[in-house]
Amino acid sequence: MPIDTSPWLADPKTLPERSASALARSMKGSTILAIAGEVLDLKARGVDVANFTIGDFAPSEFRVPPLFLEHLQRAQGEGQTFYPPAVGTPELRAAVRDYYRRVLGLSFPEGTIQVGSGARPLIYAAFACLVDPGDTVVYQVPSWNTEYYVDLNGAEGVALVARPEHSFMLTADDIAPHLQTARLLVINSPQNPSGTAISRAAMKAISDAIVTENRRREGTGERPLYLLYDMVYWQLTLQDVEHITPIHANPEMARYTVLVDAISKSWAATGVRVGWAACPPWVLAPMKALIGHMGAWAGRAPQIATARTLAEISPMEPWSKTFRAEVAKRQLALYNGFTSMNAEGLPVYPVKPEGALYVTARFALHGASFKGQKIETDEDIRHLLLHEAGTAIVPFVTFGYPDGTGWVRFSIGAVSGAEVEAALDRIAGLLRSL
């Protein structure tokens, strides 16, 4: 007879509150996942909803590269299922270095690549190994999850509002007042949520400013300022958009930059969990220890498969070309649809996408009314689009942006081209009725 644990697991008044740590009590959950949960509930009840919320790929729309899948199955069949080194397998670290040399023109020495189970553990490890409680972290909003990493590390976050006229990217002028006090600057390009990319000129100005500041700190003995550069979407830039790294902008930035990358988005392999960071050896050393303590390494078979795929990337070009074309096709269909609505006089203002999976648009609906209800917040806009146009989106306020702007994110990885067109028709009909 099994022991019934139910009587002992019912909430006993104050025990849950007394059990949790200060970190657990202050930890914030993902608002995006909460929104996605609402969408899944509606779909489960048979409501027709175009889901533009999660930055993921539906396998019904986008499959992982056949070459990678072949290597993954082969590695598993070979018995590559035991512990990998905490820093990553030698094969993958060498393959990443060679790939960056061939494709990005960046030559990293041995001992600069740290592998993780996707990009998230690497971002967390970079924060934990560079930032002390009370240190200042400067980042742009809108921004994916940066505020959570700031909170988890007890840092002081400085969220700078990036402006649409600068493609929602920070400029050197934005960060200038914080250069002498910051310990870490966080930039993501192509960006989640805006789907825009930083320009070469902006990256050059920021990189030069960091190098100049760190030369000053060398003279005073202060700890250096580092740049965490999240570029997991770099292979999904549109054809006429240049991907630029801090090291391209100023080679001395190799000393102060942690580049974070992964196969998650570029290979539609979000659930396989293989990522890496390219960083100075003295940053890698503590990151390696922390990743090892967390057990946050990627599985050996996925690492071996990733290494083999990177080593013979040419056969994947046909898949990659089709994949990127389908992503861009959906992005541009949304953008062109919103542009047409704007030309019609409807209150929607899109931003031309430059990369990633996203399309940004502003719905200037504040103050309008629908069925007697006044639209006052960005959450009201989200609710209106979801329940009256069957279109699920994420407002920028979820990414730390000021409320009341009307900016929202559309993510195209889980929708078909037909769903995009149907959603555009419903949105146009709704806006005409306001």
- pLDDT of 127-171, one tens digit each? 999 999 999 999 999 999 999 999 999 999 999 999 999 999 999
> Looking at residue 19, what is its pLDDT?
81
Residues 243 and 369 in one domain: no
Q: How far apart are alpha carbons 169 and 244 in whole angstroms?
A: 13
**């050996």: which residue's tokens?**
300
Dist CA 158 CA 140 (whole Å): 8
Whether 426 contacts 390, CB under 8 Å: yes
Shared domain for 47 and 93, answered yes or no, is no
Q: What is the DSSP string of 156-176?
A: EEEEEE--GGGTT---HHHHG
Residues 270 and 150 in one domain: yes
Residues 309 and 164 reside in one and the same domain: yes
pLDDT of residue 233: 98
Last residue of a domain, one of 292, 314, 336: 314
pLDDT at 402: 97
pLDDT at position 36:
78
The residue among 314, 347, 377 that closes a domain is: 314
Give the number of C-alpha atoms closer than 13 A to the C-alpha of residue 314, restricted to the C-beta side.
2
Domain identity same for 278 and 234:
yes
Indicate if 327 and 420 belong to the same structural domain: yes
Q: 2 lies in a domain?
A: no
Indicate whether 72 and 131 sit together in one domain: yes
Q: How far apart are CA 232 and CA 243, in angstroms?
A: 11
In this structure, the answer to whether residues 409 and 291 fall within a common structural domain is no
Condensed to tens digits (0 to 9), the pLDDT of residues 12-67 reads 877 777 788 888 888 877 777 788 788 878 878 888 899 999 899 999 999 999 99
Taking the chain, what is the end-to-end CA distance rounded to the nearest angstrom?
Answer: 63
pLDDT of residue 135: 98
Q: What does the buried/exposed string (b/e) look like for 222-257 if buried means 16 or more CB atoms within 10 Å of the residue's CB?
A: eeebbbbbbbbbbbbbbeebebbbbbbbbebbbbbb
Q: Which domain holds residue 417?
A: 8-62+319-433
Classified as helix, coil or strand, 299 is: coil
The pLDDT value given to residue 9? 86
Q: Which residues of the chain have pLDDT under 70?
A: none
22: in domain? yes
Residues 71 and 196 in one domain: yes
Q: Are 105 and 197 part of one and the same domain?
A: yes
14 exposure class (CB count in 10 Å sphere: 0-12, 13-18, 19+) = exposed
Instruction: Find the largest Cα–Cα distance for the chain.
Output: 72
Q: Which residues pair with 408 in a beta bridge?
A: 361, 395
Residue 81 lies in a domain: yes
User: Which of 342, 343, 383 has the alpha carbon at shortest distance from 364?
Assistant: 342
Supply the DSSP string of 260-271, one letter for each residue: EEESTTTTT-TT
**E-assigned strand segments in 162-298:** 182-188, 226-230, 257-262, 275-278
Cα–Cα distance for residue pair 408/413, rounded to 1 Å: 16
Query: Does residue 136 share a domain with residue 252?
Result: yes
230 and 287 in a single domain? The answer is: yes
Could you tell me the two tokens for 324?
């990127």
